[in-house]
Amino acid sequence: MKGLAALAFLGAIALLPAAFAQTPAQLAKRPDVRRALDYVNASESETLSEQIRVCEIPAPPFKEAVRAEELRRRFLELGLGHVRIDREGNVIGERAGSSAAPTLVLAAHLDTVFPEGTAVKVERDGVMLKAPGIGDDCRGLAVILAVARALSHAELKTAGTIVFVADVGEEGLGNLRGVRELLTEELKTRPTEFITIDSSGFDLVNREVGSNRYRVTFHGPGGHSYWAFGLPSAIHALGRAIDKVADFKVPARPKTTFTVGRIEGGTSVNSIAHTAWMEVDLRSEGVTELAHLDADLKRAVQSALDEENAFWSSEQKLTVTVAPIGERPVGTQDVLAPIIRTALAVDQALDIRSNLTSSSTDAGLPVRLGIPAIAMGGGGRWLGMHSLEESFDTTGSALGTERILLMTLAIVGLE
Ligand SMILES: [Zn+2]
């Protein structure tokens, strides 16, 4: 894409903010940093074993505790300080720097989209690893552990503090509850930068997609399909609403999308339904576009209700509730913010082709709170994300680990 290529070029030549004493390219040439980079490269098989082990511990939404316990154990083993699990279930471990600032959060998420009972045994076939969650986000968890391991192996003394976090509630209805607790309660105003290792391969997310999700429920008296004929129907009203949503017009840029993902209602074939609901997902990269889409939905629901009630002359009317079940902010950070430029410079130093992209990740929340944030892929290649066929191609994955290590050092600096 022309626009993105131009961005990558700009990022590569842009001067780094004055706060960074050494550019990623200069850092990568230091003997002590070289040692750490060589170490993660040489021990990538250990990182992959870690990825497999973590992945074989199920972590369905809202049930991340067993996997969290494993991360806590590893944080302690790797010598991180002040290791703890917060109220929401996030695992936190710190590596103190010599200065008060910066304080970087280096995160990956514990939860998967898969329900309890999903088989999570990892199958190996040559360079391929296959299991639900193997990429998203077991790769991220393995990479943050590898960074902690390399820092301690190379005995690097950083200027800033690194707070390692394995967080809960990134996926779906988790609605970022982990990072929300982390950044509004547990760490409050301490973090100055936030990196999450999520999304695949060498992705570099510089646009956070916002989403609004609702459960829309129509309620009514309901009754016998023959004897009570003439009553408004919750299912008919829902049908009218879906018909309107299906005709929504949205712009291609900024990418804006909508879908009715689930519906349910009624009790039997010979009843006028007393209840019917739909779950709707609205997304956009644009704040205004998402707000418009949101207003469109509410208008569509209201007119569907009015039409169904008006169609019948019954005294008994339907009502509707529109309950939010998820809200993720649209990223408002500059697409060339300093943290994005630093990531581009890291990729340039390591000869990586950055894949600038948009996504919806944990980084959306810090951005909304005014904390510079980015989501980066931890190398390798992911296939079939969020499907039971999810796979991870390990070819060249060590470069991803090096990428995150160098990015971490570029943010916190060395003594
Ligand atoms: Zn993810």
Helix (H, G, I), strand (E, B) or coil at 363: coil
Q: Ligand 1 centre from 335 Cα, in Å?
A: 21
Strands, DSSP E only, in 233-318? 256-265, 271-272, 275-284
User: Do 204 and 219 belong together in one domain?
Assistant: no
Residue 284 pLDDT exceeds 80: yes
Residue 304 CA to residue 312 CA, distance in Å, equals 13
Check whether 14 has a pLDDT greater than 80: no
Q: Tell me, in angstroms, the distance from the centre of ligand 1 to residue 110's CA.
A: 9
| Claim to verify: residue 77 and residue 202 sit in the same structural domain | yes
Distance 361 CA to ligand 1 centre (A): 7
B/e letters for 221-247, b = 16+ CB within 10 Å, e = fewer, are bbbeeeeeeebbbbbbbbbbbbebbee
Residue-wise DSSP of 207-231: EEPEEEEEEEEEE---EETTTTBTB
CA–centroid distance, residue 140 to ligand 1 (Å): 8
- According to the model, what pLDDT value does residue 18 have? 39
Residue 100 pLDDT: 81
Residue 20: pLDDT band by 50, 70, 90 thresholds? low
**Residue 256 clears pLDDT 90, i.e. is over it:** yes
| Confidence at residue 189, expressed as pLDDT on a 0 to 100 scale | 85
Largest Cα–Cα distance of the chain, in whole Å?
85
pLDDT recorded at residue 3:
41
Taking 70 as the threshold, does the pLDDT of residue 285 lie above it? yes
pLDDT tens for 150-180 read 999 999 999 999 999 999 999 877 889 999 9
Chain segment 96-133, per-residue pLDDT in tens: 999 988 999 999 999 999 999 999 999 999 999 999 99
Q: Are 214 and 350 in a shared domain?
A: no
Q: How far is the CA of 64 from the centre of ligand 1 (A)?
A: 14
Kindly list the distances between the CA atom of residue 247 and the CA atoms of 89, 219, 278, 297, 299, in Å, as whole numbers in the listed order: 41, 24, 16, 11, 13
Please give the distance, rounded to the nearest whole angstrom, from the Cα atom of residue 379 to the centre of ligand 1: 14
Distance 109 CA to ligand 1 centre (A): 7
Beta bridge partners of 215: 279, 323
What does residue 263 show for φ and ψ, rounded to 5 degrees? -140, 155
Of the residues 298, 328, 358, the one at which a domain ends = 328
Domain boundary among 328, 348, 365: 328
**CATH value at residue 78:** 3.40.630.10
Cα(114) to ligand 1 centroid in Å equals 12
How far is 334 from 342, CA to CA, in rounded Å? 13
Span from the CA of 122 to the centroid of ligand 1 (angstroms): 18
pTM of the model as a whole: 0.85
Measure 151 CA to ligand 1 centroid, in angstroms: 25
Residues 178 and 60 in one domain: yes
pLDDT tens digits, 262-274: 999 999 999 999 9
Among 279, 294, 328, the domain-final residue is 328
CA of 225 to the centre of ligand 1 (A): 46
The rounded distance, in Å, linking the Cα atoms of 364 and 65 is: 24
C-alpha span between 370 and 331 (Å, rounded): 10
Ligand 1 midpoint to CA 194 (Å): 15
Residue with tokens 């009754």: 223
DSSP 299: H
The Å distance, Cα 368 to ligand 1 centre, comes to: 19
Same domain, 234 and 352: no
Task: For residue 32, give both structure tokens.
Answer: 């002590």
Amino acid present at 167: D
Whether residue 282 sits in one domain with residue 235: yes
Mean pLDDT of the chain: 93
pLDDT for residue 377 is more than 80:
yes
Q: Output the CA 248–ligand 1 centroid distance in Å.
A: 28
Residues 69, 56: one domain? yes
Q: Are the C-beta atoms of 265 and 235 separated by less than 8 Å?
A: yes
CATH code (residue 238): 3.30.70.360
**pLDDT tens string 382-408:** 898 888 999 999 999 999 999 999 999
Model pLDDT for residues 303-320, shown as the tens digit of each residue: 999 999 999 999 999 999
Q: How far is the CA of 375 from the centre of ligand 1 (A)?
A: 10
Asked if 253 contacts 301 with a C-beta cutoff of 8 angstroms, the reply is no
Spatial distance between the Cα atoms of 92 and 98, rounded to a whole number of angstroms? 19
Q: Are residues 287 and 246 in the same domain?
A: yes
Q: Is residue 370 classed as helix, strand or coil in its secondary structure?
A: coil
pLDDT at 19: 43
CA 195 – ligand 1 centroid, Å: 13
Q: In sequence order, what E strands does 273-353 have? A: 275-284, 319-328
Same domain for 148 and 52, yes or no, is yes
- Measured in Å, residue 14 CA sits from the centre of ligand 1 at 29
Distance 157 CA to ligand 1 centre (A): 30
Residue-number span of the structural domain to which 383 is assigned: 2-208+331-412
What is the distance in A from the centroid of ligand 1 to the CA of 179?
A: 13
Between the CA of 199 and the centroid of ligand 1 the distance, in Å, is 6
Q: Which two tokens stand for residue 371?
A: 């904390």
CB atoms inside a 10 Å sphere around CB 177: 19
Domains of the chain: total: 2
Query: Residues 322-331, buried b or exposed e (16+ Cβ, 10 A)?
Result: eeeebebbbb
Distance 68 CA to ligand 1 centre (A): 16
pLDDT > 90 in the chain, percent: 87
The verdict on 28 and 70 lying in the same domain is yes
249's CB contacts (< 8 A; 6+ apart) are none
For the cut 50, the answer to whether the pLDDT of residue 27 exceeds it is yes
Q: What is the 276 CA–ligand 1 centroid distance (Å)? A: 31
Q: Report whether 86 contacts 184 (CB < 8 A).
A: no
Residues 229 and 338 in one domain: no
Instruction: Find the mean pLDDT for residues 68-85.
Output: 98
**Contact assessment for residue 192 and residue 103, using Cβ atoms and an 8 Å cutoff:** yes
Residues 15 and 154 in one domain: yes
